Amino acid sequence: MDQPATDELIRVTREPNGIGFVTINRPKLLNSLTRAMMVDLAHAFKALDRDETVQVIILCGSGRAFCSGVDLTAAETVFKGDVKDVETDPVAQMERCRKPIIGAINGFAVTAGFEISLACDILIASRGAKFIDTHARFGIFPSWGLSQKLSRIIGANKAREVSLTAMPLTAEMAEKYGLVNYVVEESHLLKKAREVAEAIMKNNQDMVLRIKSVINDGLKLELGQALALEKVISL
Protein backbone atom coordinates (compact mmCIF):
# COMPACT_ATOMS: atom_id res chain seq x y z
CA MET A 1 0.00 0.00 0.00
CA ASP A 2 1.10 3.58 -0.63
CA GLN A 3 2.39 5.36 2.47
CA PRO A 4 0.57 8.74 2.60
CA ALA A 5 1.42 11.68 4.81
CA THR A 6 -0.34 11.33 8.15
CA ASP A 7 -1.53 14.96 8.06
CA GLU A 8 -3.44 14.60 4.78
CA LEU A 9 -7.09 15.46 5.43
CA ILE A 10 -8.16 13.37 2.46
CA ARG A 11 -5.85 10.36 2.39
CA VAL A 12 -5.60 8.24 -0.77
CA THR A 13 -3.83 4.88 -0.82
CA ARG A 14 -3.60 2.12 -3.40
CA GLU A 15 -3.01 -1.54 -2.72
CA PRO A 16 -1.27 -3.85 -5.21
CA ASN A 17 -4.37 -6.07 -5.38
CA GLY A 18 -6.46 -3.33 -7.01
CA ILE A 19 -8.21 -1.74 -4.03
CA GLY A 20 -8.04 2.04 -3.68
CA PHE A 21 -8.73 3.58 -0.28
CA VAL A 22 -10.04 7.10 0.35
CA THR A 23 -9.99 8.12 4.01
CA ILE A 24 -11.54 11.29 5.40
CA ASN A 25 -8.81 12.07 7.91
CA ARG A 26 -9.81 14.80 10.35
CA PRO A 27 -10.66 12.67 13.38
CA LYS A 28 -10.35 15.34 16.08
CA LEU A 29 -13.24 17.23 14.43
CA LEU A 30 -15.19 14.06 13.54
CA ASN A 31 -14.12 14.38 9.90
CA SER A 32 -16.13 17.56 9.30
CA LEU A 33 -15.52 18.92 5.81
CA THR A 34 -13.90 22.18 4.78
CA ARG A 35 -14.10 23.50 1.24
CA ALA A 36 -10.54 22.36 0.54
CA MET A 37 -11.38 18.86 1.77
CA MET A 38 -14.39 18.68 -0.55
CA VAL A 39 -12.21 19.66 -3.51
CA ASP A 40 -9.57 17.09 -2.53
CA LEU A 41 -12.26 14.42 -2.13
CA ALA A 42 -13.59 15.15 -5.61
CA HIS A 43 -10.09 15.02 -7.07
CA ALA A 44 -9.38 11.74 -5.27
CA PHE A 45 -12.32 9.97 -6.89
CA LYS A 46 -11.54 11.46 -10.28
CA ALA A 47 -7.94 10.24 -10.04
CA LEU A 48 -8.86 6.74 -8.85
CA ASP A 49 -11.45 6.42 -11.61
CA ARG A 50 -8.72 7.11 -14.18
CA ASP A 51 -6.20 4.78 -12.53
CA GLU A 52 -6.40 1.47 -14.39
CA THR A 53 -4.63 -0.35 -11.53
CA VAL A 54 -7.62 0.38 -9.25
CA GLN A 55 -10.69 -1.85 -9.59
CA VAL A 56 -12.68 -1.08 -6.43
CA ILE A 57 -12.66 1.94 -4.09
CA ILE A 58 -13.30 1.81 -0.33
CA LEU A 59 -14.30 5.08 1.34
CA CYS A 60 -13.97 5.39 5.12
CA GLY A 61 -13.43 7.88 7.93
CA SER A 62 -10.68 7.89 10.54
CA GLY A 63 -11.41 7.92 14.26
CA ARG A 64 -14.92 7.90 15.77
CA ALA A 65 -16.92 9.14 12.78
CA PHE A 66 -17.35 8.60 9.08
CA CYS A 67 -18.13 12.27 8.41
CA SER A 68 -20.01 14.68 10.68
CA GLY A 69 -20.93 16.97 7.78
CA VAL A 70 -19.74 20.42 6.78
CA ASP A 71 -17.51 22.31 9.19
CA LEU A 72 -19.99 25.03 10.15
CA THR A 73 -17.16 27.36 11.18
CA ALA A 74 -16.12 27.30 7.52
CA ALA A 75 -19.63 27.20 6.05
CA GLU A 76 -19.37 30.58 4.33
CA THR A 77 -16.36 29.39 2.37
CA VAL A 78 -17.98 26.03 1.66
CA PHE A 79 -21.20 27.38 0.22
CA LYS A 80 -20.03 30.35 -1.82
CA GLY A 81 -18.52 30.66 -5.25
CA ASP A 82 -17.97 27.54 -7.33
CA VAL A 83 -19.44 25.08 -4.84
CA LYS A 84 -21.61 23.56 -7.57
CA ASP A 85 -18.69 23.12 -10.00
CA VAL A 86 -18.88 19.46 -11.03
CA GLU A 87 -15.10 19.14 -11.15
CA THR A 88 -14.79 20.02 -7.45
CA ASP A 89 -18.05 18.42 -6.26
CA PRO A 90 -17.24 15.14 -4.46
CA VAL A 91 -20.71 13.65 -4.85
CA ALA A 92 -20.77 14.47 -8.58
CA GLN A 93 -17.37 12.82 -9.01
CA MET A 94 -18.50 9.75 -7.04
CA GLU A 95 -21.57 9.49 -9.25
CA ARG A 96 -19.35 9.77 -12.37
CA CYS A 97 -16.88 7.19 -11.07
CA ARG A 98 -16.99 3.98 -13.12
CA LYS A 99 -15.45 1.85 -10.37
CA PRO A 100 -17.60 0.32 -7.59
CA ILE A 101 -17.44 2.40 -4.39
CA ILE A 102 -17.85 0.66 -1.03
CA GLY A 103 -18.64 2.94 1.90
CA ALA A 104 -17.34 1.72 5.27
CA ILE A 105 -19.41 3.72 7.74
CA ASN A 106 -18.12 3.99 11.30
CA GLY A 107 -19.81 6.29 13.79
CA PHE A 108 -21.72 9.31 12.54
CA ALA A 109 -22.64 10.04 8.92
CA VAL A 110 -24.31 13.43 9.30
CA THR A 111 -25.92 15.55 6.58
CA ALA A 112 -23.10 16.03 4.03
CA GLY A 113 -21.61 12.79 5.36
CA PHE A 114 -24.99 11.11 4.88
CA GLU A 115 -25.15 12.44 1.31
CA ILE A 116 -21.64 11.17 0.58
CA SER A 117 -22.62 7.74 1.88
CA LEU A 118 -25.62 7.75 -0.49
CA ALA A 119 -23.20 8.21 -3.40
CA CYS A 120 -21.57 4.85 -2.59
CA ASP A 121 -22.66 1.69 -4.40
CA ILE A 122 -22.48 -0.61 -1.37
CA LEU A 123 -22.58 0.33 2.32
CA ILE A 124 -21.14 -1.55 5.25
CA ALA A 125 -21.74 -0.06 8.69
CA SER A 126 -20.38 -0.67 12.16
CA ARG A 127 -22.98 -1.41 14.86
CA GLY A 128 -22.63 2.05 16.34
CA ALA A 129 -23.05 3.88 13.05
CA LYS A 130 -25.81 6.48 12.76
CA PHE A 131 -27.12 8.31 9.70
CA ILE A 132 -28.53 11.77 10.51
CA ASP A 133 -30.03 14.43 8.25
CA THR A 134 -29.85 17.85 9.94
CA HIS A 135 -30.75 20.03 6.94
CA ALA A 136 -34.08 21.02 8.54
CA ARG A 137 -32.46 21.69 11.91
CA PHE A 138 -29.92 24.14 10.54
CA GLY A 139 -32.00 25.66 7.74
CA ILE A 140 -29.80 24.39 4.91
CA PHE A 141 -31.44 22.96 1.79
CA PRO A 142 -29.98 19.64 0.56
CA SER A 143 -28.02 19.89 -2.68
CA TRP A 144 -26.21 16.55 -2.99
CA GLY A 145 -29.27 14.41 -3.65
CA LEU A 146 -30.38 13.24 -0.21
CA SER A 147 -33.96 14.50 -0.66
CA GLN A 148 -34.41 12.25 -3.72
CA LYS A 149 -32.08 9.30 -3.17
CA LEU A 150 -33.07 8.39 0.37
CA SER A 151 -36.79 7.99 -0.38
CA ARG A 152 -36.00 5.76 -3.35
CA ILE A 153 -33.98 3.44 -1.13
CA ILE A 154 -35.88 3.29 2.18
CA GLY A 155 -39.34 4.48 1.09
CA ALA A 156 -40.99 7.87 1.21
CA ASN A 157 -42.54 7.67 4.67
CA LYS A 158 -39.36 6.61 6.43
CA ALA A 159 -37.33 9.17 4.47
CA ARG A 160 -39.73 11.92 5.54
CA GLU A 161 -39.31 10.88 9.16
CA VAL A 162 -35.51 10.87 8.91
CA SER A 163 -35.33 14.28 7.23
CA LEU A 164 -38.14 16.12 9.00
CA THR A 165 -37.25 15.02 12.53
CA ALA A 166 -33.43 14.94 12.22
CA MET A 167 -33.57 11.78 14.35
CA PRO A 168 -30.79 9.21 13.87
CA LEU A 169 -31.23 6.21 11.62
CA THR A 170 -29.25 3.45 13.31
CA ALA A 171 -27.12 0.96 11.41
CA GLU A 172 -29.55 -1.85 12.23
CA MET A 173 -32.55 0.13 10.97
CA ALA A 174 -30.60 1.20 7.89
CA GLU A 175 -29.92 -2.47 7.15
CA LYS A 176 -33.60 -3.34 7.70
CA TYR A 177 -34.70 -0.66 5.23
CA GLY A 178 -32.16 -1.64 2.58
CA LEU A 179 -29.79 1.31 2.88
CA VAL A 180 -26.93 -0.73 4.40
CA ASN A 181 -25.78 -4.07 3.02
CA TYR A 182 -24.05 -5.36 6.16
CA VAL A 183 -23.77 -4.37 9.81
CA VAL A 184 -20.63 -5.62 11.56
CA GLU A 185 -18.57 -4.99 14.67
CA GLU A 186 -16.39 -1.91 14.26
CA SER A 187 -13.23 -4.03 14.47
CA HIS A 188 -14.42 -6.00 11.42
CA LEU A 189 -15.57 -3.04 9.32
CA LEU A 190 -12.63 -2.73 6.95
CA LYS A 191 -12.19 -6.51 6.85
CA LYS A 192 -15.76 -6.88 5.57
CA ALA A 193 -15.25 -4.05 3.09
CA ARG A 194 -12.17 -5.83 1.77
CA GLU A 195 -14.08 -9.11 1.49
CA VAL A 196 -16.76 -7.47 -0.64
CA ALA A 197 -14.12 -5.68 -2.74
CA GLU A 198 -12.24 -8.94 -3.32
CA ALA A 199 -15.45 -10.70 -4.37
CA ILE A 200 -16.05 -7.96 -6.94
CA MET A 201 -12.48 -8.18 -8.24
CA LYS A 202 -12.82 -11.93 -8.94
CA ASN A 203 -15.30 -11.14 -11.70
CA ASN A 204 -14.94 -9.87 -15.26
CA GLN A 205 -14.00 -6.25 -14.72
CA ASP A 206 -15.42 -4.94 -17.97
CA MET A 207 -18.75 -6.51 -17.03
CA VAL A 208 -18.54 -5.12 -13.48
CA LEU A 209 -18.23 -1.60 -14.87
CA ARG A 210 -21.05 -2.11 -17.36
CA ILE A 211 -23.41 -3.62 -14.79
CA LYS A 212 -22.73 -0.84 -12.26
CA SER A 213 -23.43 1.70 -15.01
CA VAL A 214 -26.70 0.15 -16.18
CA ILE A 215 -28.02 -0.23 -12.62
CA ASN A 216 -27.16 3.33 -11.59
CA ASP A 217 -28.27 4.94 -14.85
CA GLY A 218 -31.41 2.81 -15.00
CA LEU A 219 -32.52 4.01 -11.56
CA LYS A 220 -32.86 7.50 -13.02
CA LEU A 221 -35.34 6.32 -15.66
CA GLU A 222 -38.83 4.91 -15.93
CA LEU A 223 -38.82 1.10 -16.09
CA GLY A 224 -39.52 0.95 -19.84
CA GLN A 225 -36.67 3.32 -20.59
CA ALA A 226 -34.37 1.44 -18.22
CA LEU A 227 -35.13 -1.87 -19.96
CA ALA A 228 -34.35 -0.23 -23.30
CA LEU A 229 -31.08 1.05 -21.86
CA GLU A 230 -30.14 -2.49 -20.81
CA LYS A 231 -30.73 -3.67 -24.39
CA VAL A 232 -28.50 -0.91 -25.78
CA ILE A 233 -25.66 -1.50 -23.32
CA SER A 234 -25.78 -5.27 -23.89
CA LEU A 235 -24.99 -4.87 -27.58
For residue range 173-188, what is the model confidence (pLDDT) as tens digits? 999 999 999 999 999 9
* 5 falls within a domain: no
Range of the domain at 69: 10-202
Q: Would you state the pLDDT for residue 85?
A: 80
Residues 91 and 151 placed together within one structural domain of the fold: yes
- Distance from C-alpha of 15 to C-alpha of 207, rounded to nearest angstrom: 22
In total, how many domains does the chain have? 2
- Distance from C-alpha of 112 to C-alpha of 23, rounded to nearest angstrom: 15
Which residue ranges in the chain fall short of pLDDT 50?
A: 1-6, 81-82
Residues 103 and 213 placed together within one structural domain of the fold: no
Residues 193 and 210 placed together within one structural domain of the fold: no
Residues 43 and 87 placed together within one structural domain of the fold: yes
- Distance from C-alpha of 235 to C-alpha of 224, rounded to nearest angstrom: 17
pTM surpassing 0.85? Answer: yes
Residues 160 and 98 placed together within one structural domain of the fold: yes
Residues 84 and 38 placed together within one structural domain of the fold: yes
Residues 176 and 83 placed together within one structural domain of the fold: yes
Strands 169-170 and 108-110 come out as: unpaired
* 229 falls within a domain: yes
Residues 70 and 88 placed together within one structural domain of the fold: yes
Q: Would you state the pLDDT for residue 58?
A: 98
